[in-house]
Amino acid sequence: MDIAKIVILDADNLERKHDVYAYEAEEVLLGKPRFFFAQEGNVKGEDVYRALGRTEEGRYLVVFFV
């Protein structure tokens, strides 16, 4: 899967609620994650996927994205 652009809408919320930094989510998406279909989106062509991968520090993360 090709990822053209990464936009994290609320990095502060990501850190506060999930203890995950924006750069860690980017590391997972730009590394060698495994991609899976999660669910159909509310807008045609905007389905939700999840990426399973590791950060450079070795943390395992699941990143959900459109």
Q: Which domain holds residue 45?
A: 11-65
Q: Classify residue 55: in a domain, yes or no.
A: yes
Q: Classify residue 23: in a domain, yes or no.
A: yes
Q: Classify residue 3: in a domain, yes or no.
A: no
Q: Return the amino acid letter for 34.
A: R
Q: Classify residue 39: in a domain, yes or no.
A: yes
pLDDT digits (tens, 9 = 90+) for 2-60: 888 999 999 999 999 999 999 999 999 999 999 999 999 888 888 999 999 999 999 99
Q: Classify residue 6: in a domain, yes or no.
A: no
Domain count, the chain: 1
CA distances from 30 to 5, 17, 20, 21, 26 (A): 10, 23, 16, 15, 6
Q: Classify residue 5: in a domain, yes or no.
A: no
Q: Structure pTM?
A: 0.86
